[in-house]
Amino acid sequence: MTALLAAGEDPRPSLLARRDPTAKLLLVLVVTTAVVLVLDPVTPLVLWVLALVGLLLGARVPVRTAARAHVPFLVLAVGQLTVNLVTRPGEVIATPGPLRLTAEGLEVGTAIALRTLVIGVLAVAFITTTSPVRLMTSLQQNARLSPRVTYAILAGYRMLQEMPREWASLRAAHAVRAPLRPDGTPTRSPRVLLGAAFGLLVVSVRKGERLSQSLESRGLGLTPRTTWRPSPWTRADAVLVVVVLGVLVAVLATSAALGVLAGPAVLFG
């Protein structure tokens, strides 16, 4: 994910990179909300394929980068599938040892796992095609957010980008003092990792405090303010919103017409 966060700093030219960040953020929120309410395996599978095509073509993300970006979401998806498979009551389809695997658990778990992948692809597409500075400008100009909110979002985005580098530095510093394994490699015990995580928390809090003081000293919140590089909402942004929402509605309507679409009621059925 380090490479993806760095990509958001200066996104490569692409169809999605040229679109307004507020429009893309709106689409991510709407599609994510719709996917969260879907609990059948087929609908999120179709949406995941369409989102993946959009990531590869619209964002011009290399296949290798897209595959690596799937790893953390895939791990989470497998965990969700496993938990539902062994804990959800229903018709038993297999009994490996003391475990009882149910058909209902397989169906719901697969749906939840697939919607996790959909949300992951949307997040990757947004990160790799959105400049933090342009995001701040767009939210202030088009979403009518106050400078305090937009600059806070920019600061959080910057800190998120720097976290992988800070983590690597802390791990290197801990490796100098930590006891070595018999083969000479640094230990990776939970205690050492917890110490590094606590150090990352302390560094982030201190950096956030310094950043807030810096913004206040530069007159954050004073009005009127001017924009160096405006991010106007264009006709192409409206077309993107209409097309994506139209595809979403078409997929949901088709699933409903075929009798495939299922909602949260499945959890209580």
Residue with tokens 């960040």: 21
Does the predicted TM-score (pTM) go above 0.95? no
DSSP, residue by residue, 237-250: HHHHHHHHHHHHHH
- Summary count for the chain: helices (H), strands (E): 9, 2
Give yes or no for a contact between 131 and 73, defined as CB atoms under 8 angstroms apart: no
The string of pLDDT tens digits covering residues 37-86 is 998 999 999 999 999 999 999 988 889 989 988 998 999 999 999 988 88
> What is the end-to-end Cα distance of the chain in Å, rounded?
38
Q: Give the C-alpha separation, 6 to 65, whole Å.
A: 12
- 99-146 pLDDT, tens per residue? 888 888 888 899 999 999 999 999 999 988 988 888 888 888 888 887
Q: Rounded to an integer, what distance in angstroms lies between the CA atom of residue 17 and that of residue 127? A: 10
The DSSP output letter for 84 is H
> How much is the pLDDT for 267?
58
Domain boundaries, the chain: 2-137+231-268, 147-217
* Most confident listed range (55-59, 174-178, 214-218, 220-224): 55-59
